[in-house]
Amino acid sequence: MREYNALCKRRRAHEEAKTYRSASIICSIYNVNRGKDQDPVTPDDLMGKKKAKQTPEQILESVKSLHAMLGGKTPEV
């Protein structure tokens, strides 16, 4: 079982390396062609490794929109 887990871990690392390589190519193309007012992009941005912190207000708005999408009723005040 230990050997199987090691093999799975090595495969995940290999797949992540291939994905990172693709993300770096995409970033290079984007950053060369981006506008002056746009921020540069890193491979980690595309791979979803960085998570921006949401404010409580943003979280509440997300919950409200999901609630409305799923057919929830507006609360009576």
- List the chain domain ranges: 2-50
- What does the alpha-carbon distance between residue 14 and residue 69 come to, in Å, rounded to a whole number? 39
CA 6 to chain centre: 27
pTM above 0.75, yes or no: no
Task: Determine the pLDDT at residue 77.
Answer: 63
**Cβ 46 vs Cβ 26: under 8 Å:** yes
The tens place of each residue's pLDDT in the chain, 77 residues long, gives 889 999 999 999 999 899 899 999 999 999 998 888 888 888 888 887 766 788 899 888 888 888 888 887 776 76
Which of 41, 18, 44 is closest to 29 using CA atoms? 41
